[in-house]
Amino acid sequence: MKKAVLEKSLDYMQFQNLIILTFCFVITLLAMLYSLDFGSYILIECFLFLFSLLFIAILFTKKGLIIIDENLYSGIFLFGKPIYKKLIPIIGFDCISIVKGKLSTNYAYSYKIDVFHKWEPDLNVSIKSFKICMIEENQKKIKKIITLTDSKKVKIAVDFIIENSTLKYVELY
């Protein structure tokens, strides 16, 4: 098994929201542990503890690529170990290319309620993205492999794919 761990799997706003949620769970757990009898709410305390551990683990996940027996997988890694993988069939594709664009996420929640929409701040977050895609030779069929936001990691991913598969790199446009 060959692997390339590339970058964190959460965007900035997801990461920020998960930190806030984890903080709330941990503070609630600590308050329950120090203020109540330990046995009275043991089920809730276990629930809070397990979900706090789960949220902390999700904060440390990264996305990347895996090659197992000449098959290409996109994967999620936790401390360098793959915890999830998805097969990307490369049969029928000849080359890979990079499509540049922007990832934009608008976290405005009141777009349907005009009264709230007028004073809600614009929470749009936009960053550069690089989508690595597989392409047929006649460019009629395109399939995404992975989307990254760091140009250095894109070069690592492209080199990893070229080195470990039959795909070659071509420049679009």
pLDDT per residue as tens digits for the range 64-77:
888 888 888 889 99
Q: What is the pLDDT of residue 114?
A: 62
Q: What is the pLDDT of residue 122?
A: 59
Residue 146 structural domain: 2-169
Matching residue, tokens 């594709």: 93
Token output for 114:
């005009």
Instruction: Choose the weakest-confidence range: 1-15, 88-102, 117-131.
Output: 117-131
Count of domains forming the chain: 1
Residue type present at position 38: F
- Other C-beta atoms closer than 10 Å to the C-beta of 148 total 23
Name the average pLDDT for the chain.
82
Instruction: Choose the weakest-confidence range: 10-24, 57-71, 99-113, 144-158.
Output: 99-113
b/e burial code for range 6-36 (CB count within 10 A of at least 16 → b): bbebbeeeeeeeeeeebeebbeebeebeeee
Mean pLDDT, rounded, for 106-122: 59
Contacts 24+ apart (CB under 8 A), 57-60: 58/10, 58/18, 59/10, 59/15, 59/18, 59/19, 59/22
> Per residue in 15-52, pLDDT tens?
888 999 999 999 988 888 887 676 678 888 889 899 99
